[in-house]
Amino acid sequence: METDVSTLPPRVRQTLDFFRSHGVWHILSRNTPATSCQDAAHRRQRLGKTGIPLHDEVKSLFMKGQFGPLGARHVLLHCRATARFDLEAAAVALDAETALVRVQGEELARLGQGIRYGTVNPFSEAAECIQVFDSGLLTRLTPPHTVMTNAGDLTWGVEFRPAEAIAALEKISPKVVVSRITTLDSEEHTPPVFGILTGNGPESGMALWRHINDHIYASMSEESRLHGDLSYPRVHIQSIPEMGLSMELLERKEEVWLVMQDAIRRFIQDGVTHIALACNTTQYFANQIKDLCKPSGIQFTSMADVVVQHVRDHHLDDLTILGIPIVANMGQYSAYAPLKELGVQSVLETALPHLQEIGYMVKKLGRQGGKDDSKTLNKLVLILRIGVKTRNVLIALTEISVLLERFPRHAKQGISGINIIDCLELYGKFFAKVHLDAMPREIGDRFDEWE
């Protein structure tokens, strides 16, 4: 709906005039009165939702200093709300002759109609002030890659794209500088792009993706920083039918590796930063995958690496690994071989024929569940009864991981008194942490500088 300019407060009108006169994309919005960066971020309206990540809120300082031929000038400094200004760096970026001094209180009020704490922005006094933008504002963090700030009033906000707004300000401001003027390097927070390779079967990759998203949801919800769809990672999935040949890896490893090579090269072309392999058997190729990824700087962490580290960190004992023979024997072709040194036991031979069978049973399960699900679960119960003599079992067969998703109570509480540790879920937690660690933290101790 078109905004009635005549009803806007003067400084909001000035902000809107800036965007309209320069043809810069923006969205003007209303919010309840905001008293700090953190408070404002919680109240901003964007994409039909109340609240934006703190790193998408812009904070500003109104300063003054001496600048050679330009003389005494007012300066506006801008950065993400998760950063802290470095005033010395700002003075150097501007070639200032004196230290920058903050303008506040009555002096700030005398500079313009309605200007006060909480209403400073880059646009209302655009033609009168030197502008300095922290380069971290141009870093693409989380979607939709826009930022927000007040529109000249405590109850008005404006959403914009930093690069476009800066380009327009260069046409009217006395001087515009983009430089690192903060002590927190937000460029360290580059969201990962995940590539999931699957196909043995497709449900394995789907289950891994669900585990990643479920753990992100749980963590961000608990910290009250979940922003719907925008909080989840970008994911590329390749489901390769020939990955199913890995059920007979010994006889078909050359063919399997050829299709995996092709898929990984496609991930590299697509800009993937982290590759996940939703299959226990083909973790055998981990070193070859790492070698293939290394020249491009892409990170591959094998499921076996994650699981072995988990077993070490938690000092797990009395543990049996459950998988097809080539995996569960922890031998030459098993990526889980290091577990043998940690005392992990192989499943008893009596269960091996049933393990091969259950893999094919899961592949034939319908989408809606039913008696075949129960029949397959009973097969798992049989395997545990005749093949496992430990208190803990490590599920290294993605078909069983998929089956357990259909029976979440059993996955959480165990079966027949046996504690279940699902390799695929551990893998999902690992990649969820990669994503969460890349997100700027919404730390609540940097709001004293907001204007």
pLDDT, tens digit, 9 for 90 and up, residues 123-176: 988 888 999 999 999 998 889 999 999 999 999 999 999 999 999 999 999 999
The rounded mean pLDDT for the chain is 89
pLDDT at residue 107, rounded to an integer: 78
Q: Which of 387, 393, 386 is nearest to 417 (CA)?
A: 393
The region of weakest confidence among 6-15, 99-108, 150-159 is 99-108
- When pLDDT is cut at 50, 70 and 90, the band that residue 44 belongs to is very high
pLDDT at residue 189, rounded to an integer: 66
Q: At a CB cut-off of 8 Å and minimum separation 6, what does 85 contact?
A: 61, 77, 79, 134, 181, 182, 183, 449
Q: What is the pTM of this model?
A: 0.81
pLDDT at residue 187, rounded to an integer: 46
- For residues 191 and 228, give the distance between their C-alpha atoms in angstroms, rounded to a whole number: 16
pLDDT at 80 over 50: yes
pLDDT at residue 6, rounded to an integer: 74
Q: At a CB cut-off of 8 Å and minimum separation 6, what does 190 contact?
A: 139, 141, 273, 438
Q: In sequence order, what DSSP letters do the residues of 265-311 get, joined into one string?
A: HHHHHTT-SEEEE--SGGGGGHHHHHHHHGGGT-EE--HHHHHHHHH
Backbone angles phi, psi at 55, to 5 degrees: -70, -10
pLDDT at 228 over 90: no
pLDDT higher for 372 or 435? 435
Mean pLDDT, to the nearest integer, of 295-322?
A: 95
Percent of the chain with pLDDT over 70: 93
Percent of the chain with pLDDT over 90: 64
Q: At a CB cut-off of 8 Å and minimum separation 6, what does 233 contact?
A: 191, 192, 193, 194, 212, 216, 431, 435
pLDDT at 3 over 70: no
pLDDT, tens digit, 9 for 90 and up, residues 246-259: 878 888 989 999 99
The region of weakest confidence among 83-97, 110-124, 308-322 is 110-124
The region of weakest confidence among 99-113, 292-306, 348-362 is 99-113
Residue 217 tokens, joined: 């949801």
- When pLDDT is cut at 50, 70 and 90, the band that residue 223 belongs to is confident
pLDDT at residue 443, rounded to an integer: 53
pLDDT at residue 96, rounded to an integer: 92
pLDDT at residue 2, rounded to an integer: 58
Mean pLDDT, to the nearest integer, of 96-125?
A: 83
The answer to whether 25 and 172 have CB atoms below 8 angstroms apart is no
pLDDT, tens digit, 9 for 90 and up, residues 182-219: 986 544 567 899 999 999 889 999 999 999 999 999 99
Which CA distances in Å does 277 have to 133, 153, 274, 306? 41, 50, 10, 12
Mean pLDDT, to the nearest integer, of 308-325?
A: 92
